[in-house]
Amino acid sequence: MSDLLAAGILVGLLADADDLDGLRALADAGSWTAAERLADLLAEAGDLERLRARVQAGDEIAAERLAGLLARRLAEAGDLDGLQALADAGSRDAAGRLAGLLAEAGDLDGAAQILGTRVVASDEWVAVNMADLLIKQGRREEAERLGRFGLNLDGSIACALRD
């Protein structure tokens, strides 16, 4: 059995046993798998304090999960300003949730602006969301052009493929 496989099995056993200390020890020793599973468990439990401690220790996975958890809570509370601040800080999850809330409220232009900002930030997933939003706005031709040709670097919809 390879070391990588054995480490994965150990992470799974520790996670199944809710052994957060064991996962933390492995994560601190450099196990990306343990760090990811630990961050997932802390986020699922809503443990902001321990996630913040992991973030302060330099755990980027925990930072992503913390931002996601905060974005979910802000969205549930309808806190558009909080979501905007989190999106401005670089949270993809917050930007997506903010765009979704704006679209649900009928502010399709505001949602498009949020998604356009993410395009400029090179967020790969945003083109799909943008196409859906364009269709909701009745701009099917633009959505089809987006699907066919993609986006320019400035976030505008490309007109044709470049050579």
**Whether pTM exceeds 0.85:** no
Q: Using an 8 Å Cβ cutoff, are 103 and 111 in contact?
A: yes
Tell me: do 114 and 37 sit in the same domain: no
Residue that has been written with the tokens 């987006």 in this structure: 146
Tell me: do 56 and 127 sit in the same domain: no
Tell me: do 24 and 38 sit in the same domain: yes
Q: What is the pLDDT of residues 94-147, one digit of tens each?
A: 888 888 888 888 888 888 778 776 655 555 566 667 777 788 788 888 888 877
Domain with 112, as residue range(s), is: 79-163
CA-nearest of 46, 39, 43 to 23 is 39
